[in-house]
Structure 1
């Protein structure tokens, strides 16, 4: 049954997971299936969907795969309608699809901004726009989980486009959590650190032909990220269980490691110091202006 703290009645619920055929998404799918949920996997790769279905070995009445580009709103609407026909109304939404990409500031372009934001931010919003209205009308408690990144909490040299997209997902999630709470819809934000996924390879494979070549610095960022994911990355299945634990306890934030405390404290200290300087400066400025007048 569901409680005020979170959702535990997964049996028979319908969940929708973007980027669900690989990595963290597939870990979330496995965790959902273990709890008895029926799952719609959405992924841009048809081959990945086929592999996931074969690997999971679950009957079509509990698991369906859908080819989806999360930036395509018309396709999103069509897929959502098909999910309702196949499985029923979605009450658990996991906006997980994303890429890790950026460009050198010397190669700024609207096209690259639109590309990265289109997947990492608009893709999250498209899921919200598609399914949250139905959740608002549902008599059951519902839950949305948006995947951001540690790069949405602190600037750590992952490229300004990537950081911008992930900071936006954190802010979107925090504000929506407050605004949707009284409708019985909970929102959590996942900010993974290194997880053993193929996101770097997928990013390179899916990158538009018109995108500028990665600079030496951005290439180094991606190479380092790929190495760290493989050498230090957490298990996607473990992360999937963390995510479902957050749904069960209605936790606002989902972390995958305990490494950022000092960085967050330092950022918070810098912000607090800026506010103190403002208070002192403006008080002094007002006094100076009064005296001048």
Structure 2
């Protein structure tokens, strides 16, 4: 989608951080933007920040818990009522839960999956039919993370859900390509946001079991100089929003903010190639028999 002016966009987790950066970028090119968030205080602050950026009245806001499927169905109607035909869906809401798999309990796991993975599917289920209905094409952006491509052992819950979002996005892209609907997996590295404030929104049904005994989440032990260096590698929410906007225009399969992670990505995929070895005859047979799985065209698209 190249011409985005006048197109409708819906962004979950849109009242702060990356989501608000997307809202600003979209509104600045004339899109009709609706944002949703679980926190009313963040929605109020977002409207103040949008007004300060000269975007007052150009972004609609609503409360939404992305894990509540009934509420999502009602939100789909509200989005169309406020923003007209929906063309861009950004499933951005998520929690940056920093827990290793060995220290997590059932409540931690269920909460991470409910928000980070089920929340994405709930958005697709509620709003993809609205994009399909007008027949004008569209685009879906699913916010994963660099932790959806590279593991970080102290955040196994987060890694598991974000790897799942990347796989979901790749499958959905192949599925929707014939309909003129693009799909991107957004894999940001460091972005200045409040994603680590996740415990403030933990529902009672996911109350942690023995959290105090398991200790606080992991932290980086960095000197002030190293923190300053790390800060230079992080993007602002506005920069991240502009990257997503360009990714939509380019129909990008992946959207990255952090090229400094390239060595890790190279190492991961080289490990896969080493494990596969070489057998060109078997490769050719597989391509002939299951072309939709082996050698998928979504990986061969021009950047």
Shorter-chain TM range is: 0.7 to 0.9
Task: Tell me the alpha carbon deviations over residues 209-248 of structure 1, each in whole angstroms, 9 at most, x when there is no partner.
Answer: 62132634x6224888xx6886642111011001000111
The equivalent residue for 2:239 is 238
1:31 aligns with 2:31: no
Could you tell which deviates more after superposition, 42-51 or 107-116? Answer: 107-116
The equivalent residue for 1:132 is 128
The equivalent residue for 2:49 is 55
The equivalent residue for 2:294 is none
The equivalent residue for 1:211 is 208
TM-score, normalisation: structure 2: 0.82
Whole-angstrom distance in 2 between the partners of 1:119 and 1:125:
10
Whole-angstrom distance in 1 between the partners of 2:56 and 2:240:
24
The equivalent residue for 1:276 is 277
Distance 1:18 1:241, change over 3 A: same
- Residue pair 2:105, 2:208 contacting (<8 A) in 1 also: no
The equivalent residue for 1:148 is 144
Task: Determine helix, strand or coil for the equivalent of 2:277.
Answer: helix
Superposed, 1:254-273 pairs within 5 Å as 254-273=255-274
TM-score, normalisation: structure 1: 0.84
- Residue pair 2:117, 2:161 contacting (<8 A) in 1 also: yes
Unaligned runs of 5+ in 1: 1-6, 280-293
Q: Which has the larger radius of gyration?
A: 1
Distance 1:195 1:223, change over 3 A: farther
The equivalent residue for 1:74 is 70
The equivalent residue for 1:251 is 252
